[in-house]
Amino acid sequence: MLHRIAIAAVTVATASAAQAQDVGDASAGEQLFNQCQTCHVVVDDEGNTIAGRNARTGPNLYGVIGRQAGTVEDFRYGDAMVEAGEQGLVWDAETFVQYVQDPTGFLREYLDDSRARGKMSFRVRSEEDAQNLYAYLASVGPDGGEGDGDGEEDSGS
Ligand code: HEC
Q: Which domains does the chain have, with CATH numbers?
A: 25-139 (1.10.760.10)
pLDDT for residue 21: 44
Which ligand 1 atom sits closest to the C-alpha of 55? 2
Which ligand 1 atom sits closest to the C-alpha of 72? 26
Ligand 1 atom 38: the closest Cα is on which residue?
Answer: 36
**Closest C-alpha among 17, 69, 27 to residue 51:** 27
- For the chain, which residues score pLDDT lower than 70? 1-22, 144-157
Q: Say which DSSP state 40 is in.
A: -
- In short, whether 138's Cβ falls inside 6 Å of ligand 1 is no
Ligand 1 atom 1: the closest Cα is on which residue?
Answer: 121
Q: Separation of 146 CA from ligand 1 center, angstroms?
A: 23
pLDDT for residue 137: 97
pLDDT for residue 23: 82
Q: Separation of 36 CA from ligand 1 center, angstroms?
A: 8
pLDDT for residue 80: 98
pLDDT for residue 155: 43
pLDDT for residue 128: 97
Q: Separation of 122 CA from ligand 1 center, angstroms?
A: 8
SS3 136: helix
pLDDT for residue 55: 96
pLDDT for residue 146: 47
**Closest C-alpha among 100, 54, 59, 91 to residue 76:** 59
